[in-house]
Amino acid sequence: TIPKTQKAAVVASAGATVEIKEIPVKTEAELAPGECLVKLHCTGVCHTDLHAALGDWPLKANTPLIGGHEGVGEIVAIGPNTASSPVKIGDRVGIKWLADSCLDCEHCRKGREQNCLKAKLSGFNVDGTFAEYVVSYVHHVTPIPEGIDSNSAASILCAGVTVYRAIKYSQTEAGDWIVLPGAGGGLGHLAVQYARVRGLRVIAIDSGEEKKKLCLELGAEVWIDFKESKDIVADVKAATGGEGAHSAVVTTASPSGYKQAVDYLRCGGTLMAVGLPGQAGLEASIFFTVFKSISILGSYVGNRQDAREAVDIAARGQVRCVYAKKALPDLKDVYEGITNGTIAGRVVLDMTE
């Protein structure tokens, strides 16, 4: 039976402290066609949720905000008159950042669903997964295969999908060098592993002993501490036989992670911009971008297919999310940890306890 009310973590207005509140749960009759109600097992906490809560991006979240977009749970209701649903009641599904898209605009038809002008973004312009129940959309939820538990699957839905796609489009081949600034964070530690799955050689950049250990354990070949290195460009060049790396996937929330990227890429190299500082410009020498034939590409989450591929790789045990398990009331402290950079890997909030 579905309760009438539930606990949710709510941010009243941009910059306000997150508070646990009792809010209504939608009944089946209140769901629109195409919507489904998911009882969450757990949700990951992404740095994006903190940006949304602080309002530090040029795009602002709806308020009051229920954040969260790395959820896994079970479908308990489907909206009346839903045509041809690919999922049914009882299915275990994932909720990603891209909660829904129109599926029939140019962007959707080309497989760039995340650029749909009607996109619904979980935990941003529609209520997200920091609650016991979430309303989602049958055509966009991601089926979760057996062979992976919900806590391990959660962060694949945003962090995993995002870095999986960024690496897929990084114009690299097996044996190439890839630099990952932010490698010890939520996106980064999964990027180390998805890069290894593709046979890439990983240079991890982040800071501190814990993140160093994590990155090396997960398969990074070279570690550079950005707080200790005197010259990151020289360090990357030294590690790559003098020529520099073939690609960099930048997942830092700070613009500092982008600074030297064009300089440590070799000719023909590709910079994938993923981390989302709200206000910074991308500084790169125009001369050397041209002279070295550098590609600079933005990469924004992934479509339904990317999600299935990223989850499938994790379910087959090739990538594993390293997370600390917490509960919904801990969210405020988790945001503090993200701000201070003290979280290696991810935090997943378990909703079943």
Interacting residues toward ligand 8ID by CB under 6 A: 46-48, 51, 158-159, 162, 181-182, 184-188, 205-207, 211, 226, 251-254, 256-257, 274-276, 299-301, 338, 341, 343
Q: Minimum CB separation from ligand 8ID for residue 3, in Å?
A: 31
What's the rounded Cα separation, in Å, for the pair 182 and 207? 9
What's the rounded Cα separation, in Å, for the pair 195 and 197? 5
Q: Minimum CB separation from ligand 8ID for residue 69, in Å?
A: 9
Q: Minimum CB separation from ligand 8ID for residue 182, in Å?
A: 3
CA within 13 Å, CB half, 317 = 1
Could you give the C-alpha distances from 69 to 161, 337, 340, 350, in angstroms and in order?
12, 18, 21, 14
The conformational region for residue 126 under phi > 0 = left, psi -120 to 50 = alpha, else beta, is beta
The answer to whether the CB of 322 falls within 8 A of the CB of 301 is no
The answer to whether the CB of 323 falls within 8 A of the CB of 157 is no
Q: Is 321 in the site for Zn ion (CB under 5 A)?
A: no
37 vs 214, beta carbon nearer ligand 8ID: 214
34 vs 182, beta carbon nearer ligand 8ID: 182
123 vs 188, beta carbon nearer ligand 8ID: 188
Q: Minimum CB separation from ligand 8ID for residue 352, in Å?
A: 23
User: Which is it for the CA torsion 223, 227, 230, 231, positive or negative?
Assistant: positive
Q: Is 46 in the site for Zn ion (CB under 5 A)?
A: yes
Chosen from ligand 8ID, Zn ion, none, partner binding at 226 (C-beta under 5 to 8 Å by type)? ligand 8ID
47 vs 201, beta carbon nearer ligand 8ID: 47
Q: Minimum CB separation from ligand 8ID for residue 194, in Å?
A: 13
What's the rounded Cα separation, in Å, for the pair 280 and 269? 22
- Residue of 48, 114, 155, 303 that binds Zn ion (CB under 5 A): 48
6 vs 172, beta carbon nearer ligand 8ID: 172
- Residue of 148, 158, 161, 343 that binds Zn ion (CB under 5 A): 158
Give the CB-nearest residue to Zn ion.
Answer: 46
The answer to whether the CB of 150 falls within 8 A of the CB of 185 is no
The answer to whether the CB of 159 falls within 8 A of the CB of 190 is yes
Binding site for Zn ion (CB under 5 A): 46, 48, 158
